[in-house]
């Protein structure tokens, strides 16, 4: 056994490399030995074996580990006074906000007067209070270094894995989490990658000792990667159009068979709960629950990854045909069918605004103005950051580029706060500042869409969060070095 701290970093990295080779070999042997066994029990064993192997591959803490302190539960009431408060659900105002035991208890215009004994008062004069930002589509905690396979746990081996939950696989000690939250992103949706149905979508908070501490919602729905609908004739495509058409037909047929089977399983369990349990179809069963009349639809969503117009149109028809509560992820052509999406009450998670035009005859700013077009159509949408996971902290600037190209700033902020909370099914507690909701908020020097704005304090469920990370620690380390050398002056004590 290799123990952290006993070997040099190169030795540990080499050991990690050989360990990943071993686990890959084990995975191939274990899957191959059961490839003709379709019993429920063997499927469960294969799932457990894959998950066990992936956990060892995904959490090599000797390679990278977060050393920041985790926040303790809120010890007493806190009041933030003299601040400009931006609730998101209503216009901003000058006033104060009080929260206790993780919940907002009062929010009011004007000065804070006669605060009761024991209340900790934070004077935020000249500062702003916003809801914690929400990254709607990420792989935080599932990946660390792209060049180190042992830190990649993005996908299951099977193409159909609706039972796979990212909330279990996330590495709570990922160094990317504190880097991301230092820019005000306090909640994140975690999506797996991979096959036709790669797994579930989970929601986590960006602080906690374990994944049980971090998990906001273990499953917000099932992820479906919609098959390609048209052939590709680009120079790099080495598959003939006939073969592509056969692949498209096969993938669409397979998708329908999966949902037919899951629907049949849900019907059978509804009729006779003593039926044998299948973890795959059990994970999908909530999708087929009937909505309650007169009550807001709270069923898990089917998150459909689709970008092309024909993909989105086919996905909408599929969801309508089966009465599924859907959301589109990607949405590069969503502005071309915005009315169709609105008529069917299907929101969109736009994966990035810093993207190239999709077609040769498209406007150069198509990606920048797409959020504006969806806003003008009255469609609910959130904005995700499409860059590498290590750069997830730049989410606010994906919204900012949309604001710079016509999207109202309030709508841009909504696209990374309340809208993603609504799409992920957590808007009863997160996404806006309201009495009774979670005290998950940030104190800033200005608009979080501006690069120059600093996040001065952050609270998740009332717990004050350490905003340091490996980058701030490295800055402090080398600042001290140059101060010792006399190259720069020491900063005056505060």
| pLDDT interval class at 233 (50, 70, 90) | confident
Closest CA to 306 of 296, 292, 317: 317
Specify the pLDDT at position 25. Answer: 37
What pLDDT digit, counting tens, does each position of 123-145 carry? 999 999 999 999 999 999 999 98
d(CA 406, CA 481) in angstroms, rounded, equals: 45
| pLDDT interval class at 59 (50, 70, 90) | very low
Specify the pLDDT at position 35. Answer: 34
What pLDDT digit, counting tens, does each position of 45-54 carry? 334 334 443 4
Specify the pLDDT at position 493. Answer: 67
Closest CA to 448 of 368, 405, 393: 393
d(CA 462, CA 362) in angstroms, rounded, equals: 46
Specify the pLDDT at position 297. Answer: 84
Global pTM value: 0.85
What pLDDT digit, counting tens, does each position of 172-200 carry? 999 999 999 999 999 999 999 989 999 99
Cβ–Cβ under 8 Å, residues 185 and 133:
yes
| pLDDT interval class at 64 (50, 70, 90) | low
Beta strands in 352-450 (DSSP E): 381-384, 441-444
| pLDDT interval class at 362 (50, 70, 90) | confident
Specify the pLDDT at position 263. Answer: 96
d(CA 453, CA 420) in angstroms, rounded, equals: 22
| Percentage, residues of the chain above pLDDT 90 | 70
Specify the pLDDT at position 386. Answer: 83
Specify the pLDDT at position 28. Answer: 34
Residue 67 has pLDDT above 90, yes or no: no
Task: Report CA 238 to chain centroid distance, whole Å.
Answer: 34
Taken in order 414, 415, 417, 423, is the CA torsion positive or negative? positive
Give residue for tokens 């099977």: 158
Residue 227 has pLDDT above 50, yes or no: yes
Instruction: Name the least confident of 202-206, 215-219, 386-390, 440-444.
Output: 386-390
Specify the pLDDT at position 323. Answer: 94
d(CA 262, CA 325) in angstroms, rounded, equals: 15
Specify the pLDDT at position 60. Answer: 43
d(CA 11, CA 439) in angstroms, rounded, equals: 44
Half-sphere exposure of 137 (CA within 13 A, CB side): 26
What pLDDT digit, counting tens, does each position of 244-266 carry? 999 999 999 999 999 999 999 99
- State the chain's maximal CA–CA distance in angstroms: 78
Token readout for 51 is 């998950």
| Percentage, residues of the chain above pLDDT 70 | 87
| pLDDT interval class at 436 (50, 70, 90) | very high
Measured N-to-C along each axis, helices 395-404 and 366-376 cross at an angle, to the nearest 10 degrees, of 80
**How would you classify the pairing of strands 128-131 and 133-138?**
unpaired
Cβ–Cβ under 8 Å, residues 137 and 348:
no
Specify the pLDDT at position 120. Answer: 94
Angle 37-196-374 from CA coordinates, rounded to 5°: 160
């Amino acid at each position: 056994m290799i123990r952290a701290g006993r070997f040099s970093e190169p030795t540990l990295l080499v050991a990690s490399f050989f360990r990943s080779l071993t686990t890959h070999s084990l995975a191939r042997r274990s899957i191959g030995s059961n490839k003709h066994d379709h019993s429920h029990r063997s499927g469960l064993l294969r799932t457990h074996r894959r998950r066990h192997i992936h956990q060892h591959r995904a959490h090599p803490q000797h390679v990278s580990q977060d050393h920041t302190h985790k926040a303790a539960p809120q010890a007493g009431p806190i009041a933030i006074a003299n601040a400009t408060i931006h609730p998101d659900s209503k216009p901003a105002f000058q006033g104060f906000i009080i929260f206790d035991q993780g919940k907002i208890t009062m929010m009011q215009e004007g000065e804070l007067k006669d605060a009761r004994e024991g209340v900790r008062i934070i004077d935020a004069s000249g500062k702003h209070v916003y809801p914690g930002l929400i990254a709607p589509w990420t792989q935080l905690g599932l990946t660390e270094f792209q060049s180190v396979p042992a830190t990649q746990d993005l996908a299951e081996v099977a193409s159909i894995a609706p039972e796979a939950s990212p909330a279990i696989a996330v590495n709570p000690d990922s160094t990317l989490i504190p880097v991301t939250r230092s820019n005000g992103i306090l909640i994140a949706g975690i999506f797996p990658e991979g096959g036709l149905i790669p797994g579930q979508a989970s929601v986590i908070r960006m602080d906690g000792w374990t994944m049980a501490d971090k998990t906001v919602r273990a499953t917000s729905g099932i992820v479906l990667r919609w098959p390609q609908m048209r052939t590709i004739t680009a120079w790099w495509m080495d598959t003939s159009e006939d073969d592509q058409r056969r692949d498209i037909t096969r993938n669409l047929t397979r998708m329908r068979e999966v949902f037919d089977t899951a629907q049949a399983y849900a019907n059978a369990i509804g009729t006779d709960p003593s039926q044998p349990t299948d973890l795959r179809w059990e994970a999908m069963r909530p999708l087929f629950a009937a909505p309650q009349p007169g009550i807001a639809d709270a069923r898990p969503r089917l998150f459909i990854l689709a970008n092309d117009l024909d993909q989105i149109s086919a996905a909408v028809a599929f969801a309508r045909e089966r009465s599924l509560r859907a959301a589109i992820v990607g949405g590069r052509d969503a502005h071309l069918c915005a009315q169709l999406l609105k008529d069917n009450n299907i929101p969109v998670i736009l994966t990035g605004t810093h993207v190239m035009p999709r077609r040769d005859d498209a406007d150069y700013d198509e990606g920048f103005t797409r959020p504006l077009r969806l806003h003008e159509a009255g469609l609910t949408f959130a904005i995700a950051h499409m860059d590498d996971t290590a750069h997830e902290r730049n989410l606010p600037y994906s919204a900012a580029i949309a604001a710079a190209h016509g999207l109202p700033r309030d709508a841009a902020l909504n696209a990374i706060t309340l809208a993603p909370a609504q799409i992920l099914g957590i808007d009863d507690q997160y996404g806006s500042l309201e009495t009774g909701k979670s005290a998950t908020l940030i104190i800033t020097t200005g608009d979080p869409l501006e690069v120059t704005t600093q996040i001065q304090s952050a609270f998740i469920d009332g717990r004050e969060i350490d905003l340091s990370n490996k980058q701030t620690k490295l800055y402090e380390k080398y600042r001290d070095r140059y101060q010792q050398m006399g190259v720069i002056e020491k900063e005056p004590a505060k």
